[in-house]
Amino acid sequence: MSRPDQAVFLVSSTITSDEIGNQIKTLTERLVFAEELSVGSGEFYNAALNGLRPSKRFEIYVREYLGEAKLKHNGINYRIIRTGGKGEKIELTCEAVAADGLH
């Protein structure tokens, strides 16, 4: 059994308003360790039918995932496009986004 050895940052965002009502988005990154998995050809094909392009898959402990929609790995931003549970672990299937895709 492999060990989680890849540092990934789960990214969440909150929106607050300043004193004059302007909305301000704040991003919060949380470090977790994950096992990097391969994206299978079947999964890639099925996602492509829906206009998605999975490029990474990670597995982390369920207790560490708080519903984040984005993550960062090796300085690259990803959008989580699918999650799937397996007991105490959850798989996060991700697609790369543009550099400003986290905003």
Q: 48-90: per-residue pLDDT in tens?
A: 545 556 679 999 999 999 999 999 999 999 999 989 887 899 9
In order of their start, the domains of the chain are 6-96 (2.40.10.270)
Q: pTM of whole model > 0.85?
A: no
Check if the beta carbon of residue 62 is closer than 8 Å to that of residue 90: yes
User: Max Cα separation, the chain?
Assistant: 54
The DSSP string of 22-67 is: -EEEEEEEEEEEEEEE---HHHHHHHHHTT----EEEEEEGGG---
What is the mean pLDDT of the segment spanning 81-101? Answer: 84
